[in-house]
Amino acid sequence: MTPADLSLTVAHAVRRAVGDGDLAVRELPGRLTVERPRPGGLGDWATNAALQLARPSGLPPREVAEVLRRRLLDVPGIARVDITGPGFLNLTLRPDARAGAGRLLVERVRREGMRYGHGDALAGLPEDRVHFRVAEGAGPRVRALTAAVAALLRSQGAPARVDEGGGDGQRGGAGDLGHGDGPRLASPSPGSPGASPGTHGGSPSTHGGSPGTHGASRGARSRASRGAHPGLRLHARPPHYDLAALPSDVRQWALLRPAPHDRVLDAAPLLRQTESGNGLFTVQYAHARSAALLRNAADLGFSAAYEDGPHDAHPGAAELLAALGDHPAVLLAAARQHAPDRLARHLEVLADAFLGFQHTVLPLGDEKPSAAHRSRLALAEAAGTVLAGGLSLLGVSAPTRL
């Protein structure tokens, strides 16, 4: 069962509860999310559906969760449903349900390529929420942040555009915030779109707005009311050193990997080619290793072809499949929250999972390539594809050799 399958399953359970009269809800939420539980959480997947339905149903969240739990336990493929925290539902799948999900996921990545995770969830956003303006003389971090946010929004169907130039400089210089300031942030509630189950979301960076609304500043709203929308302005703490001499990939990662209100990353660790303390190298190296495995497999005379089997149960494969399955939700949340740092952190998680798995891909010694090797190679190829797509959205290259 894929996250999309589970989302439909939860929605069906809600409709059954409403039809049976156990939940008095006039209008169902537009989107019921199913995401990975936070570290240390229970089960394979989690949903905050009960929290979303508590207010419209007039019931406490845990009571709503119990109503849904009884119906989800009847679903083939779901072995266990636990209620945690204020009312989160944690779902544990049966082994046979997990196995089929791996093949479907890898096939989807291979079919969609670097556009895996792209969608149209934000296609209906009005222009004033996806029109950005970069002030004349804006600093490098604001420019990088604005370009990445626009790319993320476009990946989810929003018609985002960026206008360059224009006056009204900002305190702190060129559209950045001063060192002592941070953007006025509004964290989403756990039940809001884009928030992870049991956690608060990323770090939106528009003045005066909350995730999903991204309102303009007071002056911008005043000008917009007179008929000319000036465009939203993103804000970030300016760099504390000159990044101009750095390689472009290092510069982008240093600017975008931290949340906008945090300091940019120091350059020295990013210039060392090591997986320890250098997220940029880890992600790029993982992509290069994926490409190398495909080349080495071709030399050995076999290619990628995912098949269901016991290799799905390999701990490294399970972790990697989980990271790949999370990618669409991460992209949507990063777009909603104007938070490219959230995508960067996810790419690090995906790269770590892949690097822990890569040693199982190729045959060892005189071992002949088997169905398991072909399947693991397909999973490695999918990981490389998703890493390349994520790096592209951040404006960072994906080398095939390092």
Whether pLDDT at 350 is above 80: yes
Per residue in 257-311, pLDDT (tens digit) is 999 999 999 999 999 998 888 999 999 999 999 999 999 999 999 999 987 665 5
Identify the residue with better confidence: 315 or 200: 315
Give residue 5's pLDDT band: very low, low, confident or very high (50, 70, 90). Answer: confident
User: What share of the chain has pLDDT > 70, as a percent?
Assistant: 80
Query: Would you say 324 and 316 are in contact if contact means Cβ atoms under 8 Å apart?
Result: no
CA atoms within 13 A on the CB side of 84: 19
DSSP-derived letter for residue 234 is B
Mean pLDDT of the chain: 82
224 token code pair:
């917009």
Query: Among residues 122, 136, 116, 140, which one has the least CA distance to residue 323?
Result: 116
Per residue in 185-243, pLDDT (tens digit) is 333 333 333 333 333 334 444 443 333 333 344 444 444 444 455 789 999 999 999 99
The burial class, CB within 10 Å (0-12 / 13-18 / 19+), for 82 is middle
